[in-house]
Structure 1
Amino acid sequence: MPKSLHSKRHLMIAAALAEQRRLKGMSQAQVAKAFGRYQPFIANIESGERRIDLVELLDIAAIIDLDVEALLRRLRQLPSMD
């Protein structure tokens, strides 16, 4: 079984966060500040270097207006083992 940190699903989450942040017109630093963290925290999530837990995902999604339900539907279309 692959490590989930580098799975297709994890990379999809990271890419969705980065894409939506850009679409929202926010920098990593702006998202980090709204989240109460520093910019490298967001950079590490977006680059796939750091896992994001569900609570963090929901909180960051609220900041950048990411539709988590739509993201979950896309994630469910991928095989669970990659």
Structure 2
Amino acid sequence: MPKAIYRPEYDIFLAILKARRIDSGMTQADCSHALGRPQSFMSDVERGVRRLDIIQIRDLCEVLGCALIDLIQEFESSLNKAGY
């Protein structure tokens, strides 16, 4: 099995994160700043260069104003629609 970052499912996850950030009205810089990180942090996350652990994903959800469970449900729904 290939590493997760090389699987198409990971691209779906990253697209959801980016869409949620944009829908929240935040720039990468805004989001990174709210997380106490440099601007490059969100850029790296959205490009798939930096991976997040579950705690960081939860923190990001809080900044974006969404519940972790909602993000996971959207991810699962997107995977199902894509046939994964």
TM-score bucket (shorter structure): 0.7 to 0.9
Tell me which protein shows more helix as a share of its residues.
2
Q: Which residue of 1 aligns with 2:73?
A: 70
Q: CA deviation at 1:74?
A: 2.6
Q: Which residue of 1 aligns with 2:11?
A: 11
Q: TM (normalized to structure 1)? A: 0.81
Q: TM (normalized to structure 2)? A: 0.79
Q: Which residue of 1 aligns with 2:31?
A: 31
Name the CA shift for 1:12/1:76 in 2 (closer, same or farther; >3 Å). closer
Aligned residues: 79
Name the CA shift for 1:19/1:76 in 2 (closer, same or farther; >3 Å). closer
Cα distance in 2 for partners of 1:55, 1:75 equals 22
Q: CA deviation at 1:7?
A: 1.4
Cα distance in 2 for partners of 1:17, 1:24 equals 11
Cα distance in 1 for partners of 2:6, 2:65 equals 25
Name the CA shift for 1:53/1:75 in 2 (closer, same or farther; >3 Å). farther
